[in-house]
Amino acid sequence: MIKKKEVKHIAKLARLGLTEKEIEKFRRELSKILDYIEKLKEVNISKVESTSHLIKLENVMRKDEQSSAPFKTLTDREKLLNLAPKTKNKYLRVKSIL
């Protein structure tokens, strides 16, 4: 069973605002899901190496040049900036950090 304190800590790591009600809800639900996942303890993995990708891939490299597809033009940049909630002089604007 995970504790309320842990739920709060995880939410903070995930930058996720939660109400008191949600904290309690997730404490119960996550405990139940983690109980189910405990099943993995039955598997002996001492001889297994870990894997993240299953199909052998090679890194794809490209030249470090200023323009690359598909955002070649200024209008493309403007298109992206238009999606931002707040901009100033073609920069994203954020609230103060301190």
Q: Which residues bind other proteins (CB under 8 A)?
A: 2, 6-7, 10-11, 13-19, 22, 26, 29-30, 32-34, 36-40, 42-43, 45, 48-55, 57, 59-60, 69-70, 76, 79-80, 83-86, 92, 94-98
Radius of gyration of the chain (CA): 23
Q: How far is the CB of 74 from other proteins (least distance, A)?
A: 13
Nearer to other proteins, 53 or 66 (CB): 53
Q: What is the maximum span of the chain, computed from C-alpha positions, in angstroms?
A: 58
Q: Which of 52, 49, 4, 48 is nearest to 30 (CA)?
A: 4
Distance separating alpha carbons of residues 23 and 91, to the nearest angstrom: 36
Q: How far is the CB of 5 from other proteins (least distance, A)?
A: 13
Nearer to other proteins, 59 or 66 (CB): 59
Q: Which residue has 């001889």 as its token pair?
A: 47
